[in-house]
């Protein structure tokens, strides 16, 4: 069976629109229709029902969907295994939220190597939304991220949190911070919601940045006030670039680990999840299993 038939089927399950699926896959609507017809021919059952209100799965389509997801995951896993044959050992692909790379990757390399000495690790920085897609497809094995996305194939655990603190090149206290000189951090939906609730006067500004490293670069090259990760704040203060805005509230951002549900109970994955919990100083027994609600946002 051609894998593009499965990919088209799963995309149509999500969009419930032949037009939207054609746009997302970069093909014509007739190509989408042809692929679905071919898949239905292979399965021997009608998988979608079209009506004026849109496109919906038939009963047979609903039964086929979880198996289609499993087929796609198995296909990507097989491809990854074939591409890694030149490297000794099994490869594990680890996705990290952009802001966590600087303070997380160095100790994790040592911890992961000690836990799985025969494994090759590939680390990649990305945003939560893309990492969730990669977990679903099998292109990534474990993701450490800010924003879990609701999906029946994904499992998340809360690991702990990181802290963002306000620094400034201009003012020492919160009462002197103005919207004109403030740079808004757009690090994650949870961060943005907390910021809007506690600092509403600083929410409508002319400049916003979505990455901690980019914010640090701006503060070292321009004057201004902004939230950065605590470790970055310490570095900026030590270098004399900024001072802490001491009376500004600290904003804590939760951090999660995600895996494909099919891998949740595999020994190697459980071992790495334990190492992640150890890094964030939260024993597995105290970690919360996340029942995700759909969260919008790129982070």
Q: Render pLDDT for 60-91 as a digit per residue (tens, 0 to 9).
A: 999 898 888 878 777 777 776 665 544 445 78
**Class (C level, CATH) for 83-161+253-290:** alpha beta
The tokens for 204 are 């409508």
pLDDT tens, residue by residue, 2-60:
888 988 998 898 888 898 888 888 889 999 999 999 999 999 999 999 887 778 899 99
Contacts of 185-188 with C-beta under 8 Å, sequence gap 24+, read 185/209, 185/210, 185/212, 185/215, 185/226, 185/227, 185/228, 186/210, 186/299, 187/99, 187/146, 187/211, 187/212, 187/227, 187/253, 187/299, 188/128, 188/146, 188/147, 188/253, 188/297, 188/299
Q: What is the pTM of this model?
A: 0.69
**Class (C level, CATH) for 162-251:** alpha beta
What are the residue ranges spanned by the domains of the chain? 3-75, 83-161+253-290, 162-251
**Mean pLDDT for all residues in the chain:** 86
**Fold matches, 3-75 and 162-251:** no
Look up the CATH architecture of domain 3-75: Orthogonal Bundle (1.10)
More confident of the two residues 117 and 283? 117
């Amino acid at each position: 069976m051609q894998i593009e038939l499965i990919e088209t089927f799963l995309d149509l399950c999500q969009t419930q629109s032949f037009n939207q699926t054609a746009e997302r896959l970069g093909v014509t609507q007739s190509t989408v229709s042809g692929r679905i017809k071919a898949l239905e021919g292979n399965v021997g059952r009608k998988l979608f029902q079209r009506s004026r209100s849109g496109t919906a799965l038939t009963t047979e389509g609903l039964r086929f969907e979880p198996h289609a997801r499993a087929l796609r995951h198995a296909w990507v896993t097989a491809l990854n295994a074939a591409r890694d044959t030149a490297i000794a050992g099994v490869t594990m692909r680890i996705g990290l939220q952009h802001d966590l790379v600087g303070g997380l990757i160095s100790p994790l390399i040592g911890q992961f190597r000690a836990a799985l000495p025969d494994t090759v690790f590939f680390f990649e920085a990305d945003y939560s939304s893309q990492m969730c897609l990669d977990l679903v497809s099998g292109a990534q094995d474990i993701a450490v991220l800010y924003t879990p996305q609701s999906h029946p194939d994904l499992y998340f655990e809360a690991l702990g949190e990181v802290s963002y603190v306000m620094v400034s090149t201009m003012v020492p206290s919160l009462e002197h911070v103005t919207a004109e000189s403030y740079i808004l951090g757009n690090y994650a939906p949870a961060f943005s919601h907390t910021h809007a609730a506690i600092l509403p006067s600083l929410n409508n500004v002319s400049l916003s940045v979505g990455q901690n490293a980019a914010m640090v670069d701006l503060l070292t090259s321009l004057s201004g006030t902004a939230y950065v990760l605590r470790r970055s704040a310490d570095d900026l203060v030590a270098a004399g670039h900024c001072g802490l805005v001491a009376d500004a509230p600290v904003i804590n951002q939760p951090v999660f680990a995600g895996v494909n549900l099919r891998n949740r109970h595999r020994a190697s994955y459980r071992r790495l999840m334990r190492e992640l919990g150890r890094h964030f100083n939260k024993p597995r027994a105290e970690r919360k299993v996340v029942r995700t609600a759909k969260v919008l946002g790129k982070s």
